[in-house]
Amino acid sequence: PVRGTRLPLAIAQRLDVLIDLPGKGVYPIVAQVEGKRARTGIVLAASGAPVSRLAAEAGENAPPVDLSLEGRLEAVAPLAPRAPDVTHRVILAGAMAPYAWSLNGEYWPNVTPLMIATGQRVAIEMLNHTMMPHPMHLHGHAFQVVAINGAPLAGAVRDTVLVPPMGSVTIAFDADNPGRWAFHCHNLYHMMTGMMTEVRYPGII
């Protein structure tokens, strides 16, 4: 397990958190959106402890979501050691004016699928050529984060990972679920302008 008091999460990510209460007292657990002071959450309190109302706003804006936690996580059940059979490189690009976001220079639905085959070990290297972070989400599979900005690691098993501005993340998974699976930015306003493709197995219509 990884210890911490601040756990940055990108859109669509989840964490299992074990909370160890040190004793009697009151312990707020709050969520705060980056760049905002507004917060929400819960208060854990020992039996009989006095609970007072928390301010609706924090003292300062939340910092940007980063990969400080992602780089420390290790998979409980990592992929078995194996070289990739196929590696896809995906360029994340876009601009504010005109407002459009793409994968490999293509905009959904006019895209070239990322083809994979059952039994393959698949790697997808995502290179972010924009100044915005992109939480990239894959349907139909759980992947392991295996590199951040070129540095290898045996990272978490996820279905969503944040690709930092002008940075890179590589994921790997075993192709074991034939179908046509969406792969997209989970900033849905990016996805709606075209930042989506599909991971496709052969023979699937």
Higher-confidence residue of 135 and 24: namely 135
Residue 14: Cβ within 10 Å count:
9
pLDDT given at position 141: 99
Q: Does residue 32 have a pLDDT over 90? A: yes
CATH 2.60.40.420 fits 86-200, yes or no: yes
pLDDT given at position 138: 99
Task: Tell whether omega for the bond before 22 is within 30 degrees of 0, i.e. cis.
Answer: no
What is the band of 19 on the pLDDT scale with cuts at 50, 70, 90?
Answer: confident
Q: Are 135 and 122 in contact (CB under 8 A)?
A: no
Measured CA to CA, the distance from residue 195 to residue 103 in angstroms comes to 6
pLDDT given at position 21: 80
Q: What is the pLDDT of residues 94-104, one digit of tens each?
A: 999 999 999 99
pTM of the model as a whole: 0.93
Residues 6+ apart with CB under 8 A from 196: 103, 108, 111, 182, 183, 184, 185
What is the band of 20 on the pLDDT scale with cuts at 50, 70, 90?
Answer: confident
Q: Does residue 41 have a pLDDT over 80? A: yes
Q: Does residue 1 have a pLDDT over 80? A: no
Q: What is the pLDDT of residues 112-171, one digit of tens each?
A: 999 999 999 999 999 999 999 999 999 999 999 999 999 999 999 999 999 999 999 999
SS3 string, 148-164, reads ECCEECCCCEECEEEEC
In percent, how much of the chain has pLDDT > 70?
A: 100
What are the domain boundaries of the chain?
1-65, 86-200
Q: Which two tokens stand for residue 161?
A: 């990972």
Higher-confidence residue of 142 and 53: namely 142
Q: Which two tokens stand for residue 145?
A: 């984060």
Q: Are 44 and 27 in contact (CB under 8 A)?
A: yes
Residues 6+ apart with CB under 8 A from 74: 153, 154, 155, 156
